[in-house]
Amino acid sequence: MYQLVSVEAAYEVMLENIFAKKKRLLTQTYCMTSANGLSYALSLELITVKHYFQEDFIMAHSLPDLPYAKDALAPHISPETFDFHYEKHHAAYVTNLNNLIPDTGYADMSLEDIIKSADGGIYNNAAQVWNHTFFWNCMAPNGGGEPTGALADAINAKWGSVADFKAAFQASAVGNFGSGWTWLVKKADGSVDIVNMGPAGTPLTTGDKPLLCIDVWEHAYYIDYRNARPKFVSTFLESLVNWDFASANFA
Ligand code: MN3
């Protein structure tokens, strides 16, 4: 079934598989080796490399670093909110995803490919990993202000003014019932729009390109704003939003 090849050739195949993230092929390579001297030594090397790469590259999705310090958005978002929202909630989605995907067809997929093809718990956790990473980047220390350039033009074309866009975004985010996400997206025709989505909704599953989002789950604002979602959304628009990030996504 498998032809024993030279050590050099086996390593070449092994490295190709590692970089293609084909975990299953590495396992097969290990299984086919037998107890004669050469193949036994080779199999030990393969096991070592396989485990190393499974843990560090192949299997695990990781919690990305925040793009700023946990106190960088204070007083608008407290370090305590990041203690929970980032270090507990976001981290839990990563852990859940890594626990759900081994031995499934999703084990070797990128996060984006999982989101586009999975459903149920795997989809929910993968989408929440991606959404939160995106959301952290939608805010910046000394954020707020106004969009510029092509994005400002598209916003003015859609809503007439940035002020009217902000009013529309505020109304959508406040009116997004229950737990969910409110997005500014770029449509296929190049125009922009506001889209409300549910608990793990993400534009990666639609034809829209995400430009900006706000997390309106209660865990996003309850520590700092209690039940006052309107104040959280208006603070996001006035003092936190990272228009440079949104413009880069629009380009
Ligand atoms: Mn959240």
CATH code of 129's domain: 1.10.287.990
Evaluate whether 61 touches 129 at the Cβ level (below 8 Å).
Answer: yes
Q: Give distance in angstroms: CA of 106 to centre of ligand 1.
A: 23
Asked if 122 and 85 sit in the same domain, the reply is yes
Instruction: Flag whether 34 is in a domain.
Output: yes
Q: Give distance in angstroms: CA of 73 to centre of ligand 1.
A: 16
Asked if 157 and 244 sit in the same domain, the reply is yes
CATH of the domain at 184: 3.55.40.20
Asked if 124 and 164 sit in the same domain, the reply is no
Q: Give distance in angstroms: CA of 180 to centre of ligand 1.
A: 9
Instruction: Flag whether 233 is in a domain.
Output: yes
Asked if 167 and 220 sit in the same domain, the reply is yes
Q: Give distance in angstroms: CA of 199 to centre of ligand 1.
A: 9
- d(C-alpha 207, C-alpha 188), whole Å: 7
Q: Give distance in angstroms: CA of 76 to centre of ligand 1.
A: 16
Q: What is the pLDDT of residue 74?
A: 98
Q: Give distance in angstroms: CA of 3 to centre of ligand 1.
A: 51
Kindly report, residue by residue over 196-219, the tens digit of the pLDDT.
999 999 999 999 999 999 999 999
Q: Which domain holds residue 234?
A: 149-250
Asked if 20 and 111 sit in the same domain, the reply is no
Q: Going residue by residue through the chain (251 aa), what tens digit of pLDDT does each one get?
A: 345 566 667 667 666 665 555 444 444 444 444 445 555 444 444 544 544 554 444 558 999 999 999 999 999 999 999 999 999 999 999 999 999 999 999 999 999 999 999 999 999 999 999 999 999 999 999 999 999 999 999 999 999 999 999 999 999 999 999 999 999 999 999 999 999 999 999 999 999 999 999 999 999 999 999 999 999 999 999 999 999 999 999 99
Q: Give distance in angstroms: CA of 220 to centre of ligand 1.
A: 5
Q: Give distance in angstroms: CA of 153 to centre of ligand 1.
A: 30
Closest CA to 170 of 225, 100, 235: 235
Q: Give distance in angstroms: CA of 192 to centre of ligand 1.
A: 24
- d(C-alpha 89, C-alpha 179), whole Å: 14
- Give the helix, strand, coil percentages of the chain, each rounded to 5: 60, 10, 35
Burial class (CB in 10 A: 0-12, 13-18, 19+), 20: exposed
Asked if 153 and 235 sit in the same domain, the reply is yes
DSSP state for residue 203 in the 8-state scheme: G
Instruction: Flag whether 164 is in a domain.
Output: yes
Evaluate whether 169 touches 246 at the Cβ level (below 8 Å).
Answer: no
Instruction: Flag whether 66 is in a domain.
Output: no
Asked if 46 and 96 sit in the same domain, the reply is no
Asked if 153 and 203 sit in the same domain, the reply is yes
Asked if 178 and 155 sit in the same domain, the reply is yes
Q: What is the pLDDT of residue 152?
A: 98
Asked if 159 and 132 sit in the same domain, the reply is no
Q: Give distance in angstroms: CA of 129 to centre of ligand 1.
A: 9
Instruction: Flag whether 143 is in a domain.
Output: no
Instruction: Flag whether 39 is in a domain.
Output: yes
Helix (H) / strand (E) containing 215:
strand 209-215
Instruction: Flag whether 25 is in a domain.
Output: yes
Structural domain tally of the chain?
3
Q: Which residues, including other chains, have CB under 8 Å from residue 7's CB and lie 6 or more apart?
A: 38, 42
Asked if 154 and 241 sit in the same domain, the reply is yes
Instruction: Flag whether 142 is in a domain.
Output: no
Pair of tokens at residue 142: 């000394």
Residue environment code for 151-164, b if the CB has 16+ CB neighbours within 10 A, otherwise e: bbebbeebbeebee
